[in-house]
Structure formats: C-alpha cells, structure tokens
Structure 1
Amino acid sequence: MSYKQDFKQLLKPYYWVNILLSISYVTAKRTGVICSFLFPDVDCELDSRETEILFFLIIVVMLRTRKAGSVTMVNYLSSSFVYTKIANLILWFYADVRYGLPFGALLILSSLVIPEPTYQGPELITYFRGPQTLDEERARHKQTTWLVCLYAAWHPACVNFAPVFAELSASYSLDNLKFGKLDVGRYPEAAAKYRVLDGPTSRQLPTLLLLADGREQARRPQPDHSGKLQKFLFSKDNVRAAFDLDALHQQCKDTLAAAQSSKKTE
C-alpha cells in the first residue's frame, strides 16, 4: 500500500476518532485551558506514575506491532489502538474515577458506532468450514494448486494480512490455482491437523500453506533445521517471493492452455 493510499485510509472516521481517543489524556493534561478546567488542584504536568504508564505503553506497542508483522503506517496504528486506548483508560481512572467511567463508556460506544474499516476490494477466496471441506475440495479437483491461509478472526496479524491476501487472490487466481481461508480459531481441529498453535500469543498466525499434488509443498512461517520458527513478514512482495507466485501462476496457466489444446484435438 502506498503512502497516498495510507493517507486516504487515515481520513476515514475510525482512524481519526481513535487517534483522538489515544492522545486524549496527554492532550488534556498538557493543554492549559483544558487542564485548568479538569484538574484545577494539580499541576499541568505528567507525574512520575503517568510517565511510567506511557513509557510502558510505548514498549508494549513496539513489541506487539512487530510480532503482528505490521508493515504499513495504517497497520501500526490499527495494531496499537487497543493498547493506547487501554492506557488512556487507566490514566483517566488514575486521575479521577469520575473521568474514567465516562471515558470507558465512550470507548465502548465508539467501537460499536465506528467499527474498523474492512477491505472492500475484489477477492477470489474460498472460505472453508473446517478441514474436511478443504480435503473434499482437494479430492474433487486433484489438479488444482491451493494457497490456503490459516487464520483467526481476532488476531491482529491476520486482520492486517486479510487485504493483502485478498489482493493476491484477485491477481493470481486461475481455474487450477485457487486461494482459500480456514479459520483455525473457529475450527481448532484444523489447527491440530496442520500443526498450528492458535492461542493469543501464537507466532504461527497467520500461516500460509501451498498445497499441490496431494501434499503440502511449502508454508510460511516455517521452522528451521532446529525446529525454531523463522520470522516472516506478510507483505505482498514477501508472499510473492516466498511462494514464487509469478512462476506458479505462469505454470498453472500453461497447464490450462495445454489441457484446452488437447481437448480441441480430440
């Protein structure tokens, strides 16, 4: 996603409302007029406890967004909003419970009224209801190559990767090269079958599987020779390179053309 597209995305109400909520306490405490009205009996400076909370927040946001594989400005913001809003809620309660309760209600209201924007572009994805449906589809179409995303709807990295996978599906799908998604959070038997941990701290979400010729050809992220999971950033270019999608697409396209030619000569 380009910077121009990022900026256009940031103009949507969800982002600027959440940015305002994320900086609400610091803005109120450091703006003279607002601070004097809300906190008339204290200095308009952050005390040591408030500074500690904000410093801890910065560390958490940096660690969590890196683990989530966020690769764009919008991804970083989306991944950090939950932590920044919780930190602000703690700060408002720390300052005065009479401010903390309305702020908490405002957080709930904003999440209900202004949900996070979802990808609205084209996609050619098959959503499987459990591993059995994937197995059945592969058995019916044995010559089809599948790129399957194992994901959990609640996982930030999976949410960030969803538009990337959708764009790739729209660009590379063929009759014999298809894209699928399987929610291992909803179908834990799929997580067990494909050896994917589906907990909140899992580093295996999302997992991409390349399935062809009746077996798994490749996956990302993958373990190294010692069994340690190798880090993988789920950007469009990285996925293209890891699975050599351009060559795979051309190979599948040539196979289709050859099959159609043989049918015409019969």
Structure 2
Amino acid sequence: MSIQLAIWYTIFCIVLMVTVRTPSFEESSEMKYFVDNTLPEQLKNDKHSIWVVEFYTTFSPHCNAVKPIFGALSREYTHDYMKFGKCDVLKSHGVPESYDISSSCLRTELPAIIVFEGGVPAARIKQTNNGKQYLMSYENLKRDLQLQEFYEKALEKSKNMKSAESNKKTENKKKK
C-alpha cells in the first residue's frame, strides 16, 4: 500500500507543479538592478535624478513580501527624473554598509529603501530600526518616504528642463 500511496502522491505533486504557478509580480520596466559598485557610480553620474533604491536579499521573506509593493510604487512614480532600482546586498559587497545598512543575516534590517536626491540619501526606511519592526505597506512607504513630494520635484525638474530647452531653441533661431 505504501508504494501505491507514493505513486499517487508523486502524480499529485506533478499535477500541482504543472497547474499551479507561483504568482509573479511585474516591476517597472525601467527598474534598474545594481550589483558590485554600480549604485555609487550611478548616483555620482546622475545627480539630477531622484533614485528610490531597495536594498534586498533573495532569501528574506520580508524582502519577498515587499517586492510587489515596491513594484507598484515604481510603476506609479517612475519618471525621467525619478527612477527606481534594486540592490542585492549579497552581490554588492560593501555598498549597503556605506549607506548604514547591515547585510548580516543576524539583523533584520532588510529590506531597506533609501531615496537619493542629488546623489545623497534624503529619506530611508528599514525593516527593523532600533529593534522596532516597520510595517512596509504601500501607504506607509508612500507616506514615510515622501514619494509624492519627490515626484512633484521630479515633475518640476522636467518642466524646468523643457523650458530651458525651448529657450535655447528660440535663442538659436534668433542667432540664425
């Protein structure tokens, strides 16, 4: 009887694997993934943009729970001057620590999200800060990271750049 039970159990598992898929959550198509030392280089070279970066690790259940929330925020707020990225702490040695984020598995700071403005941190949220757990919900992240305010700054930058470009075009036409 145990052989028959094992066969039925195997068939059942195969049917489940074929029919039931793990849900995947789309992130913004503009999401940039940082490894090694690419995040500091990007922030240094792109000081005009506001960057919202999630520091994560693949094996953390907290990080996996925040993935769809961060993806939804990135889809809502991605702009020419407001960009979203993710930094895997296991593939970016020393980078998280330079922004005061521990990548130790003994501490539960991950996920951590930092908003960079002008290449420097302007707002940050960690999963655990001073022993207190933070509930990373869509509304909490939007409010506590001040994403709407940063988005409005990005829109203002875009408007200023467009008006500067149109001024240059009119000046060039006058010179001709």
TM-score band by shorter chain is 0.7 to 0.9
Provide the C-alpha distance between the structure 1 equivalents of 2:146 and 2:79, rounded to a whole number of angstroms.
15
Q: Where does residue 187 of structure 1 map in the other structure?
A: 92
Unaligned runs of 5+ in 2: 169-176
Q: Where does residue 129 of structure 1 map in the other structure?
A: 35
Provide the C-alpha distance between the structure 2 equivalents of 1:117 and 1:201, rounded to a whole number of angstroms.
29
Change (3 A) 1:109 1:152: farther
Which one has a larger percent strand, Structure 1 or Structure 2? 2
Letter of the 2:154 partner, please give it: C
Q: Where does residue 31 of structure 1 map in the other structure?
A: none
SS of the residue corresponding to residue 101 of structure 2 reads coil
The size of the alignment, in residue pairs, is: 164
**Aligned: 1:246 with 2:151:** no
Q: CA deviation at 1:247?
A: 1.7
Change (3 A) 1:232 1:160: same
Root-mean-square deviation (CA), in Å?
3.0
SS of the residue corresponding to residue 117 of structure 1 reads coil
SS of the residue corresponding to residue 185 of structure 1 reads coil
List structure 1 segments (4+ residues) > 3 angstroms apart after TM superposition: 108-115, 120-123
SS of the residue corresponding to residue 94 of structure 2 reads helix
Which one has a larger percent helix, Structure 1 or Structure 2? 1
Structure with more contact order per residue of length (Cα contacts < 8 Å, sep ≥ 6):
2
Unaligned runs of 5+ in 1: 1-37, 39-97
Match of 1:116 among 22, 31, 55: 22
Percent identity over paired residues? 23
Match of 1:175 among 65, 80, 84: 80
1:135-181: CA deviation from partner (whole Å, max 9, x where unpaired): 22122211111110000011111111111111111110111111000
SS of the residue corresponding to residue 182 of structure 1 reads strand
User: Quick check: which has more Rg, 1 or 2?
Assistant: 1
Match of 2:49 among 134, 141, 144: 144
Letter of the 1:203 partner, please give it: T
Q: Where does residue 81 of structure 1 map in the other structure?
A: none
